[in-house]
A and B are shown apart, each in its own frame.
Chain A
């Protein structure tokens, strides 16, 4: 009888152990469930939220583009696009008819063809429809026809800043201007604008001032009509920071247009065009000669006879036929004097200097449409002589202006930019191209030329303008034309401490009765620049300083307007 008892006891023990094991299993099971519950309900949501947001922002949103004062130049708005699933449409004929009558710009035959194409499950009917059109189509109640919200890029300022801002295609991919920059080289910059965890981004800020831009565009278009030009362009730059405050190229285009088939005529002439800038390049030659020390302010050159090199003769437009001092060569824009100056410097050093200031290379900025300068194949004595007054080699107008800003900014050239840049950032990028003393001499010459030289019509009272004019004969069918000209003006103000540089270019200005039959720069590009400066100088915060002569000039012009 003992045996079973022991067995019983053993059994009892075994049973108790089993219950304990079961209890333990239960506790383990429920604590797992419990912790999971806590994890899922209390801890998990944040992670889940983050994941959801990450899904929403799977692509970096295209940032808005604003000007330096925050005015919107490009932004995204949401618009509906109409599509159809042909398999779900019950009555194809009725659908085609209803849609084509509701949306007049949808071609019925074209739509029928698209919808009847076999095996298609998705057909765009019309992209980016207006809210009214959307409601109208919605009310038709055709099965298989639906809308999807798409982002559309709009340019509220229209054609005003079109060349700089550029545009995007229908899939909002940047294909020109800053828009393209934001997609390609500037992708890292674009990403830096995106706000982490939120489907927005801070706007990309341009250096452009839309009001200055408008003034330049306005005055240029007036000049274009007045002088019957085929094209015109203008740039305003901050000399200290290299920021492009305004850049206009006419004719321009409307980036909001449906079809983006813009012609060559609407290209950005300031960047993707290259021009023989003519006499404005003389400023570069003067700076070079000063920098190499081959001339001083007191040097003299004989301009009595045309300069003969081989079979070519270089003569002056405003021929003086006497020995000219350096300031006289500048203010009379003497080709002979400038060419002799370049020859004294020497061919190799001349080329090296042009290389140093960047006129022999393509200028690269954020706006991708840039052109390579057109340079002579071999540098000889004649090439060097003509290049000294801007003939025989063609550069981008912005490039030409950029060099002049360097020459006037105590010799330190800051590469031009279209994005906002601070003085500190600019100082890091600056490159010394000539000695500061040379810069002071050049400032004197620029100012002198506006006071008594070829640019005297640019002297806006109070704003101490200085500048150099240029009238280049255009190359037509391989030879210089006598009556197709390119008139240009490069200047800066206020000349006692140059802050802003301006370039005005008129392509083929015609003489008018008002200009007494002249079509040189001093009669068209220079007065245009003067009009621009008079309007933008107060906007840019340049303090006017009036001399008595200035005041007299103002009173006289006021009287003339009244009378």
Chain B
């Protein structure tokens, strides 16, 4: 009786010891990967900062203006080039010839008619 009890206890001890070992092992591995990921995050954050700074530097209005003047031939926006939505509506009315046809006509019907 006592022998059996002792034997099971020894088995349990061995079992828990190996589980504990495995657990610790995986934990350590995970801790390492967390540390690695964290270091990577710091590096990436650093790289993002650097790239953002570079982006900002490349987008300097002064530089963009110089490039635009060289390659695009664009001119200053004049106030009469700005139109409001209301102005657009008036234009649409002038183009009302292309308005929606009467009745329940689908694009398919129009295409068929054109053929």
Chain B residues within 8 Å of A538, by CB: 77, 79, 82
Chain B residues within 8 Å of A214, by CB: 60-62, 65
Tell me, yes or no, whether B99 is within 8 Å of chain A by CB: no
Chain A residues within 8 Å of B57, by CB: 156-158
Interface residues of B in 34-69 (CB under 8 A from A): 45-46, 49-50, 52-57, 59-62, 65
How many residues from B make CB contacts under 8 Å with A?
22
Q: How far is the CB of B48 from chain A (nearest CB, A)?
A: 10
Q: Which listed residue (B49, B56, B80, B84) contacts A462, Cβ 8 A?
A: B80
Do B49 and A546 touch across chains, with their CB atoms under 8 A apart? no
Chain B residues within 8 Å of A462, by CB: 79-80
Tell me, yes or no, whether A347 is within 8 Å of chain B by CB: no
Do A78 and B53 touch across chains, with their CB atoms under 8 A apart? no
Tell me, yes or no, whether A210 is within 8 Å of chain B by CB: yes
Q: Mark A525-549, 1 if CB is under 8 A from B, else 0.
A: 0000000001101100001101000
Additional A-B contacts beyond A156-B54, A461-B79, A461-B80 (15; CB < 8 A)? A71-B56, A73-B56, A77-B53, A156-B53, A156-B57, A157-B60, A158-B60, A211-B61, A213-B61, A214-B61, A218-B65, A535-B76, A537-B79, A544-B79, A550-B79
Chain A residues within 8 Å of B102, by CB: none
Tell me, yes or no, whether A200 is within 8 Å of chain B by CB: yes
How far is B60's CA from A550's CA once the two chains are assembled, in angstroms?
A: 33
How far is B62's CA from A546's CA once the two chains are assembled, in angstroms?
A: 30
Tell me, yes or no, whether A72 is within 8 Å of chain B by CB: yes
Chain B residues within 8 Å of A156, by CB: 53-57, 60
How far is B55's CA from A217's CA once the two chains are assembled, in angstroms?
A: 21
Chain A residues within 8 Å of B54, by CB: 156
Q: Which listed residue (B53, B60, B76, B77) contacts A75, Cβ 8 A?
A: B53
Do B59 and A78 touch across chains, with their CB atoms under 8 A apart? no
Main secondary structure of the interface of A (DSSP, over half): mixed
Q: Which residue of B lies closest to A200 (CB)?
A: B45
Give the number of A-B contacts (CB < 8 Å): 71
Q: Which residue of A lies closest to B27 (CB)?
A: A41
Q: Which residue of A lies closest to B45 (CB)?
A: A200
Tell me, yes or no, whether A103 is within 8 Å of chain B by CB: no
Do A75 and B52 touch across chains, with their CB atoms under 8 A apart? yes
Q: How far is the CB of B56 from chain A (nearest CB, A)?
A: 4
How far is B15's CA from A458's CA once the two chains are assembled, in angstroms?
A: 90
**What are 29 residue pairs bridging A and B, where the CB atoms are less than 8 Å apart in the complex?**
A71-B56, A72-B56, A73-B56, A75-B53, A77-B49, A77-B50, A77-B53, A156-B54, A156-B56, A156-B60, A157-B56, A157-B57, A157-B60, A160-B61, A160-B62, A210-B61, A214-B65, A217-B62, A218-B62, A461-B79, A461-B80, A462-B80, A534-B79, A538-B77, A538-B82, A546-B80, A551-B80, A554-B78, A558-B78
Chain B residues within 8 Å of A158, by CB: 57, 60
How many residues from A make CB contacts under 8 Å with B?
35
How far is B59's CA from A160's CA once the two chains are assembled, in angstroms?
A: 12
Chain B residues within 8 Å of A146, by CB: none
Do A78 and B46 touch across chains, with their CB atoms under 8 A apart? yes
Q: How far is the CB of A75 from chain B (nearest CB, A)?
A: 5
How far is B46's CA from A77's CA once the two chains are assembled, in angstroms?
A: 7
Contact (A154, B53) CB under 8 Å given A461-B79, A554-B78: yes
Q: Which residue of A lies closest to B77 (CB)?
A: A538
Chain A residues within 8 Å of B82, by CB: 538, 543-544
Q: Which listed residue (B49, B80, B84) contacts A76, Cβ 8 A?
A: B49
Q: Mark A55-99, 1 if CB is under 8 A from B, else 0.
A: 000000000000000011101111000000000000000000000
Chain A residues within 8 Å of B79, by CB: 460-463, 534, 537-538, 544, 546, 550, 554
Q: How far is the CB of B81 from chain A (nearest CB, A)?
A: 9
How far is B14's CA from A249's CA once the two chains are assembled, in angstroms?
A: 79
Q: Which residue of B lies closest to A211 (CB)?
A: B61
Q: How far is the CB of B16 from chain A (nearest CB, A)?
A: 13
Contact (A160, B80) CB under 8 Å given A75-B52, A77-B46: no
Contact (A543, B76) CB under 8 Å given A75-B49, A156-B57, A158-B57: no
Q: How far is the CB of B55 from chain A (nearest CB, A)?
A: 8
Chain B residues within 8 Å of A215, by CB: 61
Chain B residues within 8 Å of A71, by CB: 56, 59
How far is B61's CA from A157's CA once the two chains are assembled, in angstroms?
A: 9
How far is B82's CA from A554's CA once the two chains are assembled, in angstroms?
A: 13
Q: How far is the CB of B28 from chain A (nearest CB, A)?
A: 13
Chain B residues within 8 Å of A460, by CB: 79
Q: Which residue of B lies closest to A535 (CB)?
A: B76
Q: Mark A150-175, 1 if CB is under 8 A from B, else 0.
A: 00001011101000000000000000
Chain A residues within 8 Å of B84, by CB: 543
Q: How far is the CB of A465 from chain B (nearest CB, A)?
A: 12
Chain A residues within 8 Å of B60, by CB: 156-158, 160, 214
How far is B47's CA from A75's CA once the two chains are assembled, in angstroms?
A: 12
Interface residues of A in 197-217 (CB under 8 A from B): 200, 210-211, 213-215, 217
